[in-house]
């Protein structure tokens, strides 16, 4: 796990360490890659997924200009 120092130089009084943010959020480590998979497929078809990716890549290329 990556950690942060208690309070890096130059940070204001609102600094919160990574460990404290994890504790506050209640995040738990995952034990299997299956834990990362969505409960259901958000795309109704392979075509819908392909359209989503095409739109995503086009929007990223447009941002490079």
pLDDT tens sequence across 14-64: 889 999 999 999 988 889 998 888 888 899 999 999 999 999 999 999 976
In a domain, 47, yes or no: yes
Please count the other Cβ atoms lying within 10 Å of the Cβ belonging to residue 5.
10
Return the pLDDT at 7: 53
In a domain, 22, yes or no: no
pTM (two decimals) = 0.42
In a domain, 24, yes or no: no
**By residue range, what is the domain housing residue 41?**
32-65
In a domain, 41, yes or no: yes
In a domain, 9, yes or no: no
The dihedral sign for the CA sequence 20, 26, 31, 32:
negative
Residue 10 has pLDDT above 90, yes or no: no
Residue 1 has pLDDT above 70, yes or no: no
Tell me the CA distances in angstroms from 37 to 5, 31, 33, 54, one per residue in order. 32, 12, 7, 22
Q: How many separate domains does the chain show?
A: 1
């Amino acid at each position: 796990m990556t950690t942060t120092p208690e309070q890096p130089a130059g940070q204001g009084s609102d600094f919160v360490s990574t460990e404290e943010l994890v504790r506050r959020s209640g995040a738990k480590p995952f034990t299997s890659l299956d834990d990362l998979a969505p409960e259901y497929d958000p795309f109704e078809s392979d075509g819908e997924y392909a359209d989503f990716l095409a739109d995503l890549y086009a929007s990223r290329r447009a941002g490079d200009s």
